[in-house]
Amino acid sequence: MKKCGLAAAIAAIFGMVAPPAADAAESVSVLHWWTSGGESKAVRVLKDDMEKQGYGWKDFAVAGGGGAAAMTALKTQVISGNAPSAAQIKGPLIQDWASQSVLANIDKVAADWKANLPPTLDTQMKADGHYVGVPFSIHRINWLWINKADLDKVGGKPPTTWPEFFALADKFRAAGITPVAHGGQPWQDMTIWETVVLSQGADFYRKALVDLDQQTLTSPQMVQVFDIVRRIHGYLGSGYQARDWNVATGMVLSGSGGMQFMGDWAKGEFANANKKADVDYICAPAPGTSNAYTYSVDSFVFFQERGAKDATPGQLAMAKTIMSVDFQQDFSLYKGSIPVRLNVPMDKFDTCAKKSYADEIATIKSSGFVPSLEFGMVQSAATEGAITDAVTKFMNSNEDSAQGVKALAAAAKVR
């Protein structure tokens, strides 16, 4: 059992701090939300690797795409003094947890990370100059997944503008295909909305969702964003409420759905079903976003065991494994992402991953590489939650765009 926060302080005061376990029989408990077919295969690579190294693995998989349920479960575990050895946490939340003095230091295995990570992502893994997080991979959010047979059937091509997108959606509808496969959960609604914000340009996205600039948030261009989202909403078909993301991906996979806006973990589902990029499905940057890239980086942090500031051998082994070249490759092949470690060979990856990698490099140079708001990469949980509420309320009501913008501007002030 691990002790955190108050529990750890009490243990320390009474001299109850035991040294971390040093034997290879150590078992690591791991909290994550990778439960779909593709996600499970990806996390299994880590489990197998750890078991090969002689460590036990206690799995705390919390169902619910996007991770909101997992974050609630994590808080409960930590408060009750049962923090996991490792937990899937990303973005500014890493700093939040670090400020509670509950995360373990993993510097020992991170000597070469700075040279092998994009600088902003390297910084995000550290608190007070010490590594506390280890990154897995980069997901691109602004993708549109299209069923290839459906596309051929209606004689369409991947849309690069919104007018082209709506023309294709009409063709799908006329052919009896649900144009946009979607699940009406707040984070999926946000995936669409955030992507439409990006279609107004990376600068617009940055001013709106990174700087939270009120002028941009209330601009006529933002009204247009809500107009487009409202229009997309008309193409979701029936029964989309509360549908899980992988069920929506399954629709594109089978062809009952034509397109889906989703991060490239969707590709993990296609791979899991032996579907091939360019043959069975197409990955295209969402309309208007070919020069931009919304990224999300999954990472693990490690909770202090019995109040010891340094990570245990098992935690260090896990961090080291995750950043190794082989793991970075194998994990992303299942997950649909690309390695976060720079210069990992890409020859085993498909065209979507190669495109993602090329676009990552290009958009880092052109300032088109921006952090995803919805996937926890930039704002506090409070701000992100308030904006999500505003957007999801808009999508699930008859609010007009002006009302949506007003609610958004107010939500962006929540800190």
Applying CB under 6 A, the residues found at the interface with ligand BGC are 33, 39, 65-67, 139, 265, 296, 298, 375
Q: Least distance (Å) from ligand BGC to the CB of residue 268?
A: 7
- Nearest Cα residue to 300 out of 50, 81, 54: 50
Q: Least distance (Å) from ligand BGC to the CB of residue 32?
A: 9
> Between residues 213 and 244, which has the closer beta carbon with respect to ligand BGC?
244
- Indicate the residue whose CB is closest to ligand BGC: 265
Q: Least distance (Å) from ligand BGC to the CB of residue 6?
A: 30
> Between residues 105 and 191, which has the closer beta carbon with respect to ligand BGC?
191
The distance from CA 5 to its chain's CA centroid, rounded to whole angstroms, is 28
> Between residues 33 and 369, which has the closer beta carbon with respect to ligand BGC?
33
Q: Least distance (Å) from ligand BGC to the CB of residue 162?
A: 25
CA distance 65 to 245: 7
Q: Least distance (Å) from ligand BGC to the CB of residue 169?
A: 24
Q: Helices marked H in 235-344 — which ranges?
A: 245-254, 266-272, 313-322, 325-335
> Between residues 172 and 281, which has the closer beta carbon with respect to ligand BGC?
281
CA distance 315 to 319: 6
Q: Least distance (Å) from ligand BGC to the CB of residue 220?
A: 31
Q: Please, which residues have CB within 8 angstroms of residue 274's CB and are 6 or more apart in sequence?
A: none
> Between residues 66 and 371, which has the closer beta carbon with respect to ligand BGC?
66
Q: Least distance (Å) from ligand BGC to the CB of residue 266?
A: 9
> Between residues 166 and 187, which has the closer beta carbon with respect to ligand BGC?
187
Whether residue 386 contacts residue 377, with contact meaning beta carbons closer than 8 Å, is answered with no
CA distance 318 to 305: 15
- Nearest Cα residue to 266 out of 256, 277, 164, 165: 277
- Nearest Cα residue to 81 out of 167, 194, 188, 4: 4
Q: Least distance (Å) from ligand BGC to the CB of residue 65?
A: 4
Residue 191, φ and ψ in degrees, nearest 5: -60, -45
- Nearest Cα residue to 294 out of 270, 324, 261, 271: 261
CA distance 233 to 245: 16
> Between residues 147 and 191, which has the closer beta carbon with respect to ligand BGC?
191
- Nearest Cα residue to 395 out of 238, 209, 233, 181: 233
Which three-class secondary structure state does DSSP give residue 387?
Answer: helix
Which three-class secondary structure state does DSSP give residue 300?
Answer: strand
Beta-strand pair 27-32/56-61: parallel
Q: Least distance (Å) from ligand BGC to the CB of residue 379?
A: 15
> Between residues 275 and 406, which has the closer beta carbon with respect to ligand BGC?
275
> Between residues 34 and 162, which has the closer beta carbon with respect to ligand BGC?
34
Using only C-alpha atoms, what is the Rg of the chain? 22
> Between residues 37 and 56, which has the closer beta carbon with respect to ligand BGC?
37
Maximal C-alpha separation, the chain? 74
Q: Least distance (Å) from ligand BGC to the CB of residue 318?
A: 17
Q: How many angstroms separate the first and last alpha carbons of the chain?
A: 34
